Amino acid sequence: MNLSKFFKNAFLVMLACLVLSACATKKVQNQMQGDVYTGTETVEYLASGVPDRVFFATNESVLTTASRDTLRKQAEWLRKNSKINVVLEGHADERGTREYNLALGERRANAAKDYLMTYGISANRISVISYGKERPVDSGSNPLAWSKNRRSVTVKAN
Amino acid sequence: MIKKIKLSIILLIIATAQSNALIEVDITRGNLDPLPIAVSPLSADKDTNEKLTKELKIDKVGQEISSVVENNLRNSGLFNPLNKDAFLQKPNIAHLKPRFEDWSLIKAQALITGKVTLKDEKLRVEFRLWDVLAGKEMMALAFTTVPSNWRRVGHIITDKVYERLTGEKGYFDTRIIYVAEEGPKTKRIKKLAIMDQDGSNTKYLTLGNELVLTPRFNPTNQMVTYLSYFRNLPRVYLLDIETGIQEVVGDFPGMTFAPRFSPDGKKIIMSFAMDGNSDIYTMNLENRIVERITNHPSIDTSPSYSPDGKFICFNSDRSGYQQIYVMKADGSKVKRISFGKGLYGTPVWSPRGDLIAFTKLHKGKFYIGVMRTDGSGERLLTENYYQEAPSWSPNGRVLIFYRETKTDSEGKGFSAKLWSIDLTGYNERMVNTESDASDPSWSSLLSN
C-alpha cells in the first residue's frame, strides 16, 4: 500500500525532526541560563583552570555566581603573577544602539574590575576598554550568539 | 583637502513672485502625488562642449548637470521628472521661449531650462524655472564657477527650484559624513568617509588602521567630531576636513564618546566614562573649558542640543531602562519625555526645533521615529531588524540613518547600509555608498 507507506515515512521523518529539534533546544539550554551564556565554546584560558571571560544578561552588568567564581580564579592567578597587568575589554551584543552599548561595555568591564579589586588586585594593574557592539565573537543573529557577545574579557597587557 | 568653493551668483531676472503661480508642491503629505516636472537638458554650443569634454573628461556637461537635478528631484519624492524622450522642444529654443502647449501636452506642470557657456576658463550656467500651466517664468538665475564644480551647480539649481516650489529651503548642496565598513562582522574595518548628498564624490578621511565611529558635522563649518580608538584609547577627536588636521578633544582620563557640536559650533557635547559610569560633559573649543552637565550613577549618553542651544536631549537608563530625557543646557530641570513601550535611544533635535528623532527598540524590532520635544505625538516612521542613529537634513525634512541585516544560521550575510526617509514616513530609500556604511551625519547647506 503506497499510501500507508507514505504515512509511515512521513511519521518517521516527523519523529526524526522532533528528536533533532529536542536535541537542538537542549543544547541551547545547556549553554544559557536565563539569557546568560554558560557554555565554554568561546572561552580561552589565562592559565590552566583560569577562564578569561565572564558573561552578562541583556542590558545588565551584574556579575553572576559563575562570573564571580571566574573572577576569583583570575584574582588568585594575578596575585601569583604580580608582574602581569591586564586589560578588561567590555562588550555588548548587537541589539542596542551604538553609543549606549559603548557605555554598557564600559560598565561591564568596570564591574569585573571592581570585583578583582575587592580580591586584592591593585587598580593600577587593571585598565579598562569598551568596544560596545564593535567586536562580536559570534556573528550570528540569534539569542545564543548575542549571549556569547555580552562579555568582559581579561587580556594580558604585557 | 577639499577646497572651499566660491560661487558667484548673479540674479538675472527677479522672479515675479507676486504672479499667481498655479503650481505648488504639497509637502505636508509626502510623495503621494509628486509634481510632474520636465528637466530639459541644459544647452551648450559645440565649442563649449569640446572644451569642457577635454577638461572634465565628460561629454555634454549640460546633460550631466540636468541629470544631477533630475535625480535630486526624483529622490526627494516630491517631484516626478518626466522622461526626456517625450520632450518636443529643443533645449536651446525652450530656454529662450518655451512652447507651453508642448510641455503641457506631456503633463509637465513645471519646466527647467538652461544654458552652459565657458568664458575666461569659468563655467557659466544659467537656468530658468517655468510655470507651464500659467505660461510664466518663475525664476531665472546664473552661476559662474570653476568647471570642476559642475555637480555642485546641479545641486544648487535643485535647491533653488525646491525652495521656489515648496516654500522650504532645500538640502541638496550638502554632504554626508559616515563610517565606511568592510570585512567580516567580527573584524570590521572602519574608515571615515565623506560624499555628496547624492552619493557621488566619495573621499576617505582615515585609512582604517584604527576603529572610528559616530562622525558628526559642525553645523557652522567643515569641522567634524568623531570617536577614534587611536592607540587603543577611545577618545573624541576633532578633524578639519579641509586641512586634514586632527586633535584629541580635552584631556580625559577615560573614554570620551557620543560627541556632537552645539548649534553655534563653539562647543562639543559628549559622554565621558569614569569608573564605569558615563555622564555628559561639554568642552568649549575657544577656551578649552570643560563643564560637567550631568552627574548621575546611571548611563547618560547621546546628547543633542536644541537649535537655539537652550536645551539638551539625551539618553539615560536612570529609570532602569534606556529612555529619552530633556534638560536645560546647564543640566538643570531634567525631565523624562519618552513613555511608550520599549527602549528609546539616540535622540536628535530637529533643526526646526519642534521634533526629536529617535531609535526605539520594542519586541525585537528597531524603529526610527519622531516625537515632539515634550514627548507627545510619537510617530514611528519605519520598522526593521536593526536600524538606528537618525540624522536630520539641514531643512528638517528628511532623516538619514543606517540599517544592519540579520545574518543567516551560519552567521553570514551581514551588511550595513545608509537609508533615508521623509519626515512623513514616505519615500524610504537606500542611499548608495561605495562600500557598506553606518553612522551618517548630514552637513549644513554649503551655500545659501
ipTM attached to this prediction: 0.92
Which CATH number covers residue A136?
3.30.1330.60
pLDDT > 90? residue A13: no
CB-based contact (8 Å) between B345 and chain A?
yes
DSSP state of B211: -
For residue B33, what pLDDT is reported?
A: 83
Mean pLDDT, residues B168-195: 97
Instruction: Return the sign of the alpha-carbon dihedral for residues B48, B53, B56, B60.
Output: positive
pLDDT > 80? residue A27: no
Q: How far is A89 from chain B (nearest CA, A)?
A: 11
For residue A19, what pLDDT is reported?
A: 47
Give yes or no: residues A29 and A44 share one domain.
no
Give yes or no: residues A57 and A118 share one domain.
yes
The DSSP line for A77-124 is HHHHSTT--EEEEEE--SSS-HHHHHHHHHHHHHHHHHHHHHTT--GG
* Position with higher pLDDT, A7 vs B427: B427
Query: For residue A38, what pLDDT band results from cuts at 50, 70 and 90?
Result: very high
Give yes or no: residues A53 and A43 share one domain.
yes
Give yes or no: residues A27 and A39 share one domain.
no
Mean pLDDT, residues B167-193: 97
Q: How many CB atoms lie within 10 A of CB A122?
A: 11
Give yes or no: residues A42 and A29 share one domain.
no
For residue B64, what pLDDT is reported?
A: 95
pLDDT > 80? residue B118: yes
pLDDT > 90? residue B8: no
**Cα–Cα distances in Å, from B403 out to B227, B359, B416?**
20, 11, 6
pLDDT > 50? residue B194: yes
Phi-psi region of A84 (alpha: psi -120 to 50; beta: other; left: phi over 0): beta
Give yes or no: residues A27 and A42 share one domain.
no
DSSP state of B276: T
Cα three-residue angle B212-B232-A142, rounded to 5 degrees? 65
- Average pLDDT across chain A, whole number: 88
How many residues comprise chain A?
A: 158
- Nearest CB to B276 within list A98, A110, A137: A110
Mean pLDDT, residues B8-20: 41
- Nearest CB to A141 within list B315, B343, B407: B407
For residue B57, what pLDDT is reported?
A: 87
CA B46 to chain centre: 36
Query: For residue B248, what pLDDT band results from cuts at 50, 70 and 90?
Result: very high
A106–B322: do the CB atoms touch at under 8 Å?
A: no
Distance CA B287, CA B349 (A): 26
CATH of domain B8-166: 3.40.50.10070
By residue range, what is the domain housing residue A48?
34-156
Alpha helices in B24-60 (DSSP H): 46-56
In a 10 Å sphere around its CB, with 0-12 CB exposed, 13-18 middle and 19+ buried, how is residue B243 labelled? exposed
Is-contact B178 B440, C-beta < 8 A?
yes
Distance CA A138, CA B160 (A): 49
For residue B55, what pLDDT is reported?
A: 87
For residue A52, what pLDDT is reported?
A: 97
Q: How far is B179 from chain A (nearest CA, A)?
A: 13
Give yes or no: residues A44 and A62 share one domain.
yes
CB-based contact (8 Å) between A94 and chain B?
yes
Amino acid type, A5: K
Mean pLDDT, residues A83-95: 97
Amino acid type, B411: G
Report the residue of chain B nearest A89, measured CA to CA: B232
Mean pLDDT, residues B306-329: 98
Distance CA B400, CA B416 (A): 13
Question: Helix, strand or coil for residue B281?
Answer: strand
Give yes or no: residues A48 and A84 share one domain.
yes
Cα three-residue angle A63-A67-A69, rounded to 5 degrees? 125
Distance CA B111, CA B83 (A): 12
Phi-psi region of B272 (alpha: psi -120 to 50; beta: other; left: phi over 0): beta
Mean pLDDT, residues B116-124: 91
Q: What domain count does chain A have?
A: 2
For residue B447, what pLDDT is reported?
A: 83
- Average pLDDT across chain B, whole number: 92
Which residue of B178, B213, B314 to mutate against A (max A Cβ within 10 Å)?
A: B213
CB-based contact (8 Å) between B234 and chain A?
yes
Distance CA B64, CA B41 (A): 8
Distance CA B127, CA B42 (A): 8
Domain boundaries, chain B: 8-166, 175-442
A96–B361: do the CB atoms touch at under 8 Å?
A: yes
Give yes or no: residues A13 and A45 share one domain.
no
Highest-pLDDT range among B49-53, B259-263, B405-409: B259-263
Is-contact B256 B271, C-beta < 8 A?
yes
Give yes or no: residues A26 and A39 share one domain.
no
Query: For residue A4, what pLDDT band results from cuts at 50, 70 and 90?
Result: low
Query: For residue B59, what pLDDT band results from cuts at 50, 70 and 90?
Result: confident
Nearest Cα to Cα of residue B128 among B102, B93, B104:
B93
Distance CA B105, CA B98 (A): 13
A139–B412: do the CB atoms touch at under 8 Å?
A: yes
B186–A136: do the CB atoms touch at under 8 Å?
A: yes
Amino acid type, B185: K
pLDDT > 80? residue B415: yes
B257–A138: do the CB atoms touch at under 8 Å?
A: no
**Topology annotation, domain B175-442:** Neuraminidase (2.120.10)
CB-based contact (8 Å) between B322 and chain A?
yes
Q: Which residue has the cell 509626502?
A: B30
CB-based contact (8 Å) between A96 and chain B?
yes
Give yes or no: residues A122 and A45 share one domain.
yes
Nearest Cα to Cα of residue B195 among B213, B174, B209:
B174
